[in-house]
C-alpha cells in the first residue's frame, strides 16, 4: 500500500491491460481451461493473461465463470486458489475413486514389450534408451515412459560418450520381483546359445 492508501500499480499488469489479444473473448474461458489442464503447478493470473494476451481483468472474470461452472454442475474437478495462483484439482469427495483407479492401473500387468525392455535394463544397467532399442530391435520410447511412470526404472544421468540418458531399475522393481538386491537376478547362462553358436552373435548382443 502507498502512503495515500492506494494500491501500487503493477506495470506488468498495466501493459497486459492494453495488450493486443490473440484469443477471441468468447474463447477465453476455454483457452484458460485448456492451459490449466496441463500445468503442473499453480499459475498466476498475470501468467495466464500473458499466455492468452488478454487483460488481467478479463482473465479474472473468465476464471470466476469457470469456477462457478464447475461448482454449479457439481463437476468432479474444481478451480482452487493456491500459492498465489490457480490450478484445477479433483474434488475431495471423489479422491477415493481416483485413488482406487490409480491403484488398479498400477496393478495391471505389463505388456510383453514392457517386460522385455525391463529385462534388458535389469541386466545391462545403467543403459541408454538407444542401446535398449538396438538390443530389442524396436523403438522403446513409449515403453520406457511406461516403466518410468510405474516407478520401475529411473534415469540416473547421461552417457559420457553419447549424451543419452542412462536408466536403471528401482527399489520398487526389486520389491515387485521379490529380490533384495540385483545380485539375486537369475543367471542368463542357461538362456544363452551353446559355445558353437556364439560366433553368430556380436559381443554387445550377449
- The predicted-structure confidence for 45-59, as pLDDT tens digits, reads as follows 999 999 999 999 999
Which of 63, 93, 123 corresponds to the end of one domain?
A: 93
* Residue 104 belongs to a domain: no
Among residues 93, 120, 139, the one where a domain terminates is: 93
Task: Identify which of 91-95, 137-141, 167-171, 182-186 has the greatest average pLDDT.
Answer: 167-171
Q: Would you say residue 98 lies in a domain?
A: no
CA dihedral over 108, 112, 114, 120, signed as positive or negative: positive
Q: Identify the CATH number of the domain in which residue 59 sits.
A: 1.10.10.10
Question: Quick one: 86 and 118 in the same domain?
Answer: no
Encode 178-204: b = buried (16+ Cβ within 10 Å), e = exposed.
ebeeeeeeeeeeeeeeeeeeeeeeeee
Tell me if 66 sits within 8 A of 79, measured CB to CB: yes
The residue segments making up the domain with residue 36 are 11-93
Separation CA 55–CA 52 (nearest Å): 9
pLDDT band at 3 (very low <50, low <70, confident <90, very high): very low
Quote the percentage of the chain above a pLDDT of 90: 37
Grid coordinates belonging to 32: 484458460
Q: Which of 39-43, 47-51, 99-103, 113-117 has the lowest mean pLDDT?
A: 99-103
Band (pLDDT 50/70/90 cuts) for residue 190 is: low
For residue 79, name the pLDDT band (cuts at 50, 70, 90): very high
* Residue 100 located in a structural domain: no
CA 119 to chain centroid = 23
- How much is the pLDDT for 33? 92
pLDDT tens digits, one per residue of 161-183: 888 899 999 998 998 888 888 88
Please tell me the distance from the alpha carbon of residue 134 to that of residue 128, in angstroms, as a whole number.
10
| pTM, two decimal places | 0.44
Amino acid at each position: 500500500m502507498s502512503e495515500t492508501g492506494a494500491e501500487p500499480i503493477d506495470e506488468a499488469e498495466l501493459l497486459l491491460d492494453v495488450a493486443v489479444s490473440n484469443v477471441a473473448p468468447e474463447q477465453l474461458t476455454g483457452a484458460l481451461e485448456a492451459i490449466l489442464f496441463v500445468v503442473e503447478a499453480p499459475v498466476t493470473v498475470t501468467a495466464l493473461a500473458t499466455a492468452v494476451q488478454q487483460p488481467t481483468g478479463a482473465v479474472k472474470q473468465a476464471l470466476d465463470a469457470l469456477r462457478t461452472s464447475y461448482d454449479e454442475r457439481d463437476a468432479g474437478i474444481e478451480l482452487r486458489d493456491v500459492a498465489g495462483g490457480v490450478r484445477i484439482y479433483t474434488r475431495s469427495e471423489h479422491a477415493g475413486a481416483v485413488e482406487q483407479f490409480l491403484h488398479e492401473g498400477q496393478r495391471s500387468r505389463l505388456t510383453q514389450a514392457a517386460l522385455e525392455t525391463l529385462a534388458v535394463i535389469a541386466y545391462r544397467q545403467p543403459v541408454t534408451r538407444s542401446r535398449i532399442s538396438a538390443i530389442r530391435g524396436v523403438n522403446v520410447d513409449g515403453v520406457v515412459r511406461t516403466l518410468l511412470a510405474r516407478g520401475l526404472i529411473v534415469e540416473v544421468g547421461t552417457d559420457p560418450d553419447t549424451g543419452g540418458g542412462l536408466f536403471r531399475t528401482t527399489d520398487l522393481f526389486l520389491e515387485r520381483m521379490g529380490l533384495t538386491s540385483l545380485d539375486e537376478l537369475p543367471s542368463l547362462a542357461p538362456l544363452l546359445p551353446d559355445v558353437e553358436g556364439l560366433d553368430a552373435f556380436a559381443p554387445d548382443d550377449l
